[in-house]
Amino acid sequence: MPVQTFHLERAATPTGAMLIVTDDEQRLRVADWEDHEDRMQRLLRRRYGENAIALVESQGVSPARRALEAYFEGEFGAVAAMPVAANGTPFQSEVWAALRLIPAGSTLSYGALAAQLGRPKAMRAVGLANGANPIAIFVPCHRVIGADASLTGYGGGLDRKRWLLSHESGSVPLFDRVQQEIAK
- Which residue in the list 40, 141, 144, 145 is annotated as catalytic? 141
- The question of whether 5 is a catalytic residue gets the answer no
- Please give the C-alpha separations between residue 183 and each of 10, 12, 73, in angstroms, as whole numbers: 16, 9, 12
Catalytic residues, which ones?
A: 141
